[in-house]
Amino acid sequence: PANLSGARDVFANDVQRLFDSTQKIVSLQQTNHDMVSHIGKARAAAEELKGLLMCGSIEEITKRIDKLLMILILRSLHPDYEHVCDQNLVKRADFLYEQPG
């Protein structure tokens, strides 16, 4: 159904933004002696990630953190297992965006 396809796209974009924000922090390195600039970049990356994770309830924050951890673990798989990553993301998207019936 088109609605499920749209939900998968939203889920994939959400997960990708979480991953990209985390990646900014993980790959952050000071390349020169400008500590102020480095701390500014680190703070901006941390605020971006916090903004994606924060929401109204502890349960929702926990879900978002779980989603982030899931994608980090799936992305660490050997390329031979890319199909496992894809299948898990689709199953997760189906579950998260099911309409009560």
Q: How far is residue 75's CA from residue 32's CA, in Å, rounded to a whole number?
A: 30
The domain of 72 spans: 2-96
pLDDT in tens, 19-41: 888 888 888 888 887 888 888 98
**88 occurs within a structural domain:** yes
Tell if the pTM clears 0.75, that is, is over it: no
Q: Comparing C-alpha atoms, which of 64, 61, 62, 79 is closest to residue 17? A: 64
The predicted-structure confidence for 48-80, as pLDDT tens digits, reads as follows: 888 887 777 888 888 878 877 777 777 777 788
Could you tell me the two tokens for 86?
Answer: 């894809």
User: How many domains, in total, are found in the chain?
Assistant: 1
Q: Does residue 101 fall inside a structural domain? A: no
The tokens of 54 are what?
């924060």
